[in-house]
């Protein structure tokens, strides 16, 4: 395990920095710790929010989020930004909470990523299942980290 | 079906695993005709690439026959013989649309690990860890190919299986190195590494008009092969001072373009090697950048260094001073294969690119672990071992 686990350090470090940043925004903006989550979609704005409607993966959040759609600079498509109207806080946004997948922003980030994939490529790529051909304790640990990894920003 | 699985550091075995299935509309299933060992697999096998799980199928450079297509596949039909790009691209994100396929936004199913390591995740690759996509590898009887319309290419009649196989990964990688390094007529190009990737980079440089190409390695049969089949000059780095030799062979200027095709497990004789190896083993650095350092040092003022060798994390003693004071351009990339494969198949059909000599060994799937051992230790003159599930 030791021999191949070096990468957990940079990952944990990055996660800790992410959490630190998330909690210590500049004073003045009381929601600085709860920034907008954004992706750029390589499609024109009218396709990103046709008739003002939210794309499917985000519809589940419907009343709970604010949405902003604006053209990306140059030829880069459309920036799609979302954030929860009710900022999450407390234990759910702490590092353990995030590792346990309890931060609602993680689900929102995932929905954003899936929205982008659907709009651009027509489908969300699924991993192969089962993820590997047999279960081992080390493998399960990797699996745990990996499962969390589609969430908000880092981890 | 049978498949070659990674079971732990330096442990491979052939196992019975479930057959792959279509999971997305744009997927297809390919029956393997042939796959090959690649230098990148050695980094996996050695435990230098993160997020491998025991039981993961490896392999990413392959050719096969289409046996099943999802309802969203338009460009392929059952029975087609196809070569498949090792990186998976969705074809429609900004990166794919700009021919930067290995940077695709939509094909890494586990983006978080690469985000933590690199800032942003890169494209998925077959059989290359859960950090680099989480897709099963191709050293098996069958493999699932996502976004098949974009990553699989029909092989023209006249090209045999073994030759076409290398268009999956090593040929486009080498070509990309010479292309994105901006090789042009009149250039002198030096290439570190005479594996398949280095040989193809050298060949690409010649085809792009380089005046001279000088290939560097230490393994005699690889040096001889490169002279004979690629047409470049060679240097044995254990016999001479590489920087001095390159300087004198280039009229005192240094090579215009230096291409590194060695990677994170580079070898060297000097004391720096012991230092690098010790630090790598203690994980104080993750990679050994011997050839990169040498390339930066040897490059002419204002020249370009292109890194094709794979690195995963951080390196030590990086000669930043040489980069800035000599005004170098340093670039690297994983291969944007989809950008080059159709053109390369055409050149192959026209006889400009030859790859069959790379296949020094052919083995059935059952012997893949031994083939990797031979490839890793470069024994029996092995340059690439071709694995054929059904001989
Ligand atoms: N960028 C990409 O998309 C991409 C694609 C495929 C492979 N790769 C990488 O390219 C590299 C080469 O792949 P390969 O299949 O040719 O591997 P290989 O192991 O067959 O070849 C590597 C060669 O480098 C030589 N070498 C070792 N130390 C050296 C040094 N200090 N100076 C000069 N030569 C040295 C070895 O003797 C060997 O011949 C690997 O790092 C691999 O991961 C990158
Ligand atoms: Zn490869
Ligand atoms: Zn893409």
Note whether residue A19 is domain-resident: no
- Mean pLDDT over B301-308 rounds to 98
Here the ipTM equals 0.93
Domain-embedded: residue A51: yes
Give the residue on A whose Cα is nearest the Cα of B22: A128
CB contacts of A105 in chain B (<8 Å) are none
pLDDT higher at B284 or B223: B223
DSSP B98: T
**pLDDT-derived band of residue A149, with 50, 70 and 90 as boundaries?**
low
For a ligand 1 pocket test, name from B170, B263, B307, B344 the mutation site with the most ligand atoms within 8 angstroms of its C-beta: B263
Ligand 1 site, residue B174, Cβ cutoff 6 A: no
SS3 string of A21-73? HHHCCCCCCCCHHHCCEEEEECCCHHHHCHHHCCCHHHHCCHHHEEEEEEECC
Among B274, B282, B283, B272, which Cα is nearest to B318's? B272
> Other CB atoms closer than 10 Å to residue B142's CB: what's the count?
19
Q: Quick check: is A129 in a domain?
A: no
CATH fold label, B172-332:
Rossmann fold (3.40.50)
User: How far, in Å, from the CA of B259 to the mean position of ligand 1?
Assistant: 11
DSSP state of A3: G
Q: In terms of residue numbers, what domain contains A61?
A: 31-123+138-149
**Tokens 């890169």, located at residue:** B122
In the block, which residue shows the tokens 């940077």? B103
Distance CA A51, CA B202 (A): 54
Question: Measured over all CA atoms, what is the biggest interatomic distance in chain B, rounded to whole angstroms?
Answer: 60
Cα A7 to Cα B49: distance, rounded to the nearest angstrom: 8
Which pLDDT tens digit goes with each residue over B325-354? Answer: 999 999 999 999 999 999 999 999 999 999
pLDDT of residue A2: 41
Select from B333, B296, B347, B299 the least CA-distant residue to B318. B296
- Does the residue A22 lie in any domain? no
* 8 Å CB contact of B94 and A42: yes
How far is A88 from chain B, CA to nearest CA, in Å?
21
Token readout for A32 is 């600085």
Q: Which of residues 322-341 of B touch A (CB under 8 A)?
A: none
Helices B111-118 + A137-148 axis angle, to 10: 80
- pLDDT computed for residue A17 by the predictor: 47
- The atom of ligand 1 lying closest to the CA of B197 is 16
Which band of pLDDT confidence, cut at 50, 70 and 90, is reported for residue A1? very low
Handedness of CA B42, B48, B50, B53 (dihedral sign): positive
- The segment(s) of chain B belonging to CATH 3.90.180.10 are 2-169+335-388
Reading the block at residue B110, the tokens are: 């586990």
**Which residues of chain A have a CB within 8 Å of the CB of B90?**
117, 120-121, 125
Distance from the B373 Cα atom to the nearest Cα atom in chain A, whole angstroms: 19
Secondary structure (3-state) at B312: coil
Q: For the segment B69-124, what is each residue's pLDDT rounded down to a tens digit?
A: 999 999 999 999 999 999 999 999 999 999 999 999 999 998 888 888 899 999 99
Contact B111 A113 (CB under 8 A): yes
Q: Which of B214, B237, B220 is closest to B290 using CA atoms?
A: B237
Could you tell me which residues are beta bridge partners of residue B65? B31, B81
| Contact call for residues A121 and B91 (beta carbons, < 8 A) | yes
> Sign of the C-alpha dihedral, residues B189, B193, B199, B204?
negative
Q: Which residues contact B154 (CB under 8 A, 6 or more apart)?
A: B76, B80, B81, B82
Q: Is the pLDDT of residue A141 over 90?
A: no
CB contact under 8 A, A149 and B115: yes
CA distance B282 to A2: 10
User: Closest Cα to residue A105, out of A34, A10, A17?
Assistant: A34
B121, B108 Cβ separation under 8 angstroms: yes
CA of A135 to the centre of ligand 2 (A): 27
Best CA proximity match to B251, nearest among B297, B188, B323, B294: B188
Say which residues have a Cβ less than 8 Å from residue A65's Cβ, sequence separation at least 6.
A58, A82, A83, A84, A85, A108
Comparing CB atoms, the residue among A124, A146, A153 nearest residue B134 is A146
Cα–Cα distance measured from residue B352 to residue B127, given in angstroms and rounded to the nearest whole number: 30
Tokens 């000088």, located at residue: B214
What pLDDT sits at residue A137? 77
Asked, for residue A155, whether it belongs to a domain, the answer is no
Residue A154 lies in a domain: no
Whether B232 lines ligand 1, by a CB cut-off of 6 Å, is no
Q: How many CA atoms lie within 13 A of B81 on its CB side?
A: 12
Count of domains observed in chain A? 1
Is the shortest distance between the CB of B84 and ligand 1 below 6 Å?
A: no
User: Where is pLDDT greater, at B140 or A62?
Assistant: B140
Contact residues, chain B, for A125 at CB < 8 Å: 24, 88, 90, 106-107, 109, 124, 146-147
Task: Pinpoint the residues of chain B covered by CATH 3.40.50.720.
Answer: 172-332
Q: Which CATH architecture has domain B2-169+335-388?
A: Alpha-Beta Complex (3.90)
Q: What is the reported pLDDT for A147?
A: 63
Per the CB < 8 Å rule, is A151 touching B112? yes
Give pLDDT, residue A81.
96
Which residue in B213, B210, B208, B209 sits closest to B192, CA to CA? B213
Strand partners, A38: A81
For range B143-150, the mean pLDDT = 98
Contact A153 B313 (CB under 8 A): no
Min CA distance, B246 vs chain A (Å)?
37
- Give the integer Cα–Cα distance in Å for A115 and A57: 6
**Residue B330, token pair as written in the block:** 């340093």
Chain A residues touching B18 at Cβ < 8 A: 130, 133
Helices B170-180 + B196-207 axis angle, to 10 = 50
Among A73-82, A106-115, A138-147, B85-94, which stretch is predicted with the lowest mean pLDDT?
A138-147
Q: Which of A1, A7, A95 would you mutate first to test chain B, the one with the most B CBs within 10 A?
A: A7
The mean pLDDT of chain B is 95
Ligand 1 atom 7, closest CA = B40
Contacts with B55 from chain A: Cβ below 8 Å: 132-136, 139
For an interface test with A, the pick among B112, B130, B143 (most A C-beta atoms closer than 10 Å) comes out as B112
Q: What is the pLDDT of residue B316?
A: 87
Q: Is B262 helix (H, G, I), strand (E, B) or coil?
A: coil
Determine what percent of chain A falls in helix, strand and coil, rounding each to the nearest 5.
Answer: 50, 10, 40
Q: Which atom of ligand 1 lies at the shortest distance from residue B383's CA?
A: 20
B335 lines ligand 1 (CB under 6 A): yes
| CB-based contact A133 B111, cutoff 8 Å | no
Tell me whether the omega of the peptide bond preceding residue A130 falls within 30 degrees of 0, making it cis: yes
Contact A77 B92 (CB under 8 A): no
Which residue owns the Cα nearest ligand 1 atom 2?
B334
What is the rounded distance in angstroms from the CA atom of residue B232 to the CA atom of residue B206?
8
Q: Determine contact, residues A71/A45, Cβ cutoff 8 Å.
A: yes
H helices, E strands: number in chain A: 6, 3
Q: Is B61 helix (H, G, I), strand (E, B) or coil?
A: coil
Alpha carbons A142 and B54: distance in angstroms, whole number: 10
Can you spell out the DSSP letters for B284-304?
SSS-B-HHHHHHHHHSPTT-E
């Amino acid at each position: 395990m030791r021999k191949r686990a070096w990468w957990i350090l940079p990952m944990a470090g990055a996660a800790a920095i992410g959490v630190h940043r998330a909690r210590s925004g500049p004073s003045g903006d009381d929601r600085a710790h709860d920034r907008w989550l954004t992706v750029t979609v390589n499609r024109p704005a009218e396709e990103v929010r046709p008739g003002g409607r939210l794309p499917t993966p985000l519809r589940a959040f419907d009343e709970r989020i604010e949405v902003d759609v604006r053209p990306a600079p140059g030829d880069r498509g459309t920036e799609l930004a979302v954030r929860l109207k009710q900022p999450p806080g407390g234990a759910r946004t702490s590092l353990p909470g995030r590792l346990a997948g309890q931060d609602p922003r993680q689900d929102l980030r995932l929905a954003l990523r899936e929205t982008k994939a659907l709009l651009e490529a027509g489908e969300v790529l699924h991993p192969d299942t089962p993820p590997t051909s047999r279960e081992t304790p080390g493998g399960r640990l990797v699996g745990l980290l990996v499962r969390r990894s589609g969430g908000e920003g880092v981890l | 079906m049978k498949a070659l699985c990674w079971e732990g550091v330096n442990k491979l075995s052939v196992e019975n695993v479930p057959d792959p299935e279509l999971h997305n509309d744009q997927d297809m299933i390919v029956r393997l005709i042939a796959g090959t060992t690649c230098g990148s697999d050695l980094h996996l096998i050695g435990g230098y690439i993160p997020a491998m799980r025991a039981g993961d199928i490896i392999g990413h450079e392959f050719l096969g026959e289409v046996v099943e297509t999802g309802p969203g596949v338009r460009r392929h039909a059952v029975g087609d013989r196809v070569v498949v790009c090792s990186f998976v691209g969705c074809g429609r994100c900004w990166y794919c649309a700009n021919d930067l396929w290995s940077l695709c936004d939509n094909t890494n199913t586990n983006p978080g690990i690469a985000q933590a390591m690199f800032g942003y995740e890169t494209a998925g690759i077959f059989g290359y860890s859960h950090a680099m996509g989480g897709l099963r590898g191709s050293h098996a009887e069958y493999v699932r190919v996502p976004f098949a319309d974009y990553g699989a290419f029909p092989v023209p009649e006249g090209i045999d299986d073994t030759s076409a196989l290398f268009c999956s990964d090593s040929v486009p990688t080498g070509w990309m190195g010479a292309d994105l390094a901006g090789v042009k007529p009149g250039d002198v190009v030096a290439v570190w590494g005479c594996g398949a990737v280095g040989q193809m980079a050298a060949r690409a440089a010649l085809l792009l008009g380089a005046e001279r190409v000088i290939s560097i390695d230490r393994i005699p049969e690889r040096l001889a092969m490169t002279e004979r089949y690629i047409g470049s000059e060679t240097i044995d780095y254990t016999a001479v001072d590489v920087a001095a030799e390159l300087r004198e062979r280039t009229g005192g200027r240094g090579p215009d373009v230096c291409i590194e095709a060695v990677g994170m497990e580079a070898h060297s004789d000097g004391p720096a090697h012991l230092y690098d190896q010790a630090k790598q083993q203690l994980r104080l650095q993750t990679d050994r950048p011997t050839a990169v350092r040498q390339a930066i040092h040897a490059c002419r003022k204002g020249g370009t260094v292109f890194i094709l060798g794979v690195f995963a994390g951080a390196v030590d003693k990086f000669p930043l001073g040489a980069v800035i004071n000599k005004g170098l351009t340093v670039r690297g990339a994983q291969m944007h294969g989809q950008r080059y494969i159709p053109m390369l198949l055409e050149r192959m059909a026209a006889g400009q690119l030859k790859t069959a000599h790379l296949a020094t060994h052919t083995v059935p799937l059952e012997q893949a672990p031994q083939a990797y051992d031979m490839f890793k230790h470069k024994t029996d003159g092995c340059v690439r071992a071709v694995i054929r599930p059904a001989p």
